[in-house]
């Protein structure tokens, strides 16, 4: 069986390609760096979360969730304008920009402050998150989920229901590892070879950057949105 598309498989493949099992701990960091470098270039639909909050006080304060990246939109579905349309909150930093605005939000410390609400007001938020840090399972039989290249199927350690299987996959992979596995692998190997002073680092890094460009240019409005486009 050839395992791909998971974080653990990525580290195993990096060890195989570089022959440096002694750098496995560094590879974990290099792989996460490679994914972050690529993720910063796009706002991916799979990274967007929609949630509904309930204000517990006037001028409600919402602590940013873990791995929070960027707030996309804020709507107050229970409050409508004169045309009967729900109110969308505007981002306004403290100061003159808040003058004559009834509904706005701004970042304060590690939290978002929403103005114009009262206790019980519903707040719809859409925001982007960074990847969660995935663990490396050195022993294959300990991995919550594995993906087999030959059959294109997932296998699970203990998960049986759809909900359990989804949770297991989220423990071992993300959309970038699923869709752009070779790109992340190349970026990780390039970093290992650079640390070793190996001349293979330059062509490997060039290929990584080329694949990175392919990822960005392949993005569409229906699937992802480029930060620069």
Give pLDDT, residue 228: 39
Give pLDDT, residue 63: 96
Give pLDDT, residue 224: 53
Q: Note whether residue 153 is domain-resident.
A: no
Indicate the helix (H) or strand (E) that contains 18.
helix 7-18
Q: What are the tokens at 151?
A: 């059959």
Q: Note whether residue 27 is domain-resident.
A: no
Give pLDDT, residue 226: 45
CB 169 within 8 A of CB 177: no
Q: Note whether residue 173 is domain-resident.
A: no
The gap from C-alpha 218 to its chain's centroid, in whole angstroms, comes to 18
Strand, helix or coil at 61?
strand
Any idea what the Cα angle at residue 222 is, between residues 51 and 48, rounded to 5°?
25
Looking only at the bridges linking them, the beta strands covering 104-108 and 90-91 are parallel
Structural domain boundaries, residue 84:
46-129
Query: Number of folded domains in the chain?
Result: 1
Backbone angles phi and psi of 217, in degrees to 5: -75, -20
CB 165 within 8 A of CB 145: yes
Q: Note whether residue 220 is domain-resident.
A: no
Q: Note whether residue 25 is domain-resident.
A: no
Give pLDDT, residue 58: 86
Give pLDDT, residue 6: 98
Q: Note whether residue 134 is domain-resident.
A: no
Q: Note whether residue 69 is domain-resident.
A: yes
- Along the 229 residues of the chain, how does pLDDT read in single tens digits? 899 999 999 999 999 999 999 999 999 999 999 999 999 999 888 899 999 999 999 889 999 999 999 999 999 999 998 899 999 999 998 888 888 888 999 999 899 999 999 999 999 999 999 999 999 999 999 999 999 999 999 999 999 999 999 999 999 999 999 999 999 999 999 999 999 999 999 999 999 999 999 999 887 655 655 443 3
Give pLDDT, residue 220: 61
């Amino acid at each position: 069986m050839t395992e791909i598309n998971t974080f653990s498989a990525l580290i195993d493949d990096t060890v195989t390609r570089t022959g440096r099992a002694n750098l496995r701990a560094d590879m974990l960091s290099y792989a996460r760096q490679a994914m972050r470098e690529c993720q910063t270039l796009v706002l991916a639909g799979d990274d967007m979360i929609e949630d509904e909050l309930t204000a517990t006080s006037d001028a409600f304060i919402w602590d940013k969730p873990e791995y929070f990246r960027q707030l996309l939109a804020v709507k107050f579905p229970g409050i409508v304008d004169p045309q009967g349309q729900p109110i969308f909150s505007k981002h306004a930093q403290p100061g003159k920009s808040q003058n004559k605005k009834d509904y706005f939000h701004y970042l304060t410390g590690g939290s978002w402050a929403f103005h114009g609400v009262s206790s019980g007001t519903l707040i719809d938020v859409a925001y982007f998150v960074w990847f969660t840090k995935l663990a490396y399972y050195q022993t294959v039989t300990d991995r919550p989920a594995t993906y087999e290249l030959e059959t294109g199927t997932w296998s699970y350690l203990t998960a049986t229901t759809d909900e359990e299987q989804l949770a297991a996959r989220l423990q071992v992979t993300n959309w970038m590892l699923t869709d752009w596995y070779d790109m992340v692998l190349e970026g990780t190997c390039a970093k290992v070879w650079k640390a070793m002073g190996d001349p293979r680092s330059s062509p490997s890094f060039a290929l990584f950057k080329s694949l990175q460009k392919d990822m960005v240019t392949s993005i569409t409005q229906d699937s992802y949105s480029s930060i620069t486009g």
